[in-house]
Amino acid sequence: MTLSLQSSESVKTKTAKAHPLVLIHGLRNAHRWTDDFLRRAVSIWGSQRVYVIHLNESERLWSADYPEGRVHLAGDVHRGAGCDTVERQCAYLETKLGLLEELRGLTKPFDVIAHSMGGLVLRRYVNRHPDDVAAAVTLGTPHQGAPMARDFLWFGYLVGAGRAFGSLTPRRVRALVEQHPWPAHIPLYTVRAIQRGVSWGVGGELFIGTVYHAILRRASDGLVPADLALCREGQHLADLPGYNHLRLVSDPSVLDLCASVLP
């Protein structure tokens, strides 16, 4: 079933969640969960039941306090996160989830919201740990690969994320999907943005992506083609017209949409 964000407002969000929530960012951690997004997550899942993972080597654990409650975070906030291969990022994820379980009260199974490349890292993780995740929503994840990563691979190396760009090419993602099928018992939902007009993004990446996809005549969220953000193993939850790749992690109403299907 495909919903617009507007129509999703009629779907009532559960007020008491059975599982904690883990948030996984995307490529380079350039598009980050906003404070408004995190505050809304805490208001739904509860204080000390929302966990943010930064996919880098740092094993630092820390917390952020909001009026609604406390969020636990693992890893340092910088763009070096999300710059390695899917395999290496999965190793970071495994380590940090273990630390959060041991030291910050994370319990399994947990819900997951993963943005962009984070959804591919999650795929590898659930294939290795099929009992850890209760349900997941991916936001703008290139489930069938990102042609832009292939065509701008040189730029990836220029900004220190060449290994991540290489993992995002259609050929590499097809191999990942074949080797690491999504476990059938874990509900998976996809959300995609369909950009209208031109956006800048954080450092011009959405502007470049918009021009690139306009030349190819493909609808996209600025970075990921809309048709490649779908996953045959999952249920498509919503198209968000007028949204872009960045807004998926900045608008709290996207969190409400995810919460409507996560247990």
Buried b (16+ CB within 10 A) or exposed e, 149-176: bbebeeebeebebbbbbbbbbeebbeeb
Is pLDDT above 90 for 123? yes
pLDDT band at 95 (very low <50, low <70, confident <90, very high): very high
CA 250, chain centre distance (Å): 12
Is pLDDT above 50 for 141? yes
The mean pLDDT value for 15-19 works out to 84
The mean pLDDT value for 170-180 works out to 97
CATH 3.40.50.1820 fits 5-259, yes or no: yes
pLDDT band at 40 (very low <50, low <70, confident <90, very high): very high
Task: Give bridge partners of residue 63 from the DSSP assignment.
Answer: 72
Instruction: Give the separation between CA 165 and CA 173, rounded to whole angstroms.
Output: 11
Cα angle value 122/30/87 (rounded, 5°): 30
In one letter, which amino acid is 6?
Answer: Q
The mean pLDDT value for 223-228 works out to 97
Look at residue 1 in the predicted model and tell me its pLDDT: 43
pTM as predicted: 0.94
Q: Alpha carbon of 129 to those of 124, 125, 182, 247: distances in Å?
A: 9, 6, 11, 30
Is pLDDT above 60 for 164? yes
Instruction: Give the separation between CA 170 and CA 168, rounded to whole angstroms.
Output: 6
pLDDT band at 154 (very low <50, low <70, confident <90, very high): very high
Look at residue 15 in the predicted model and tell me its pLDDT: 55
Which tokens sit at 194? 């369909």
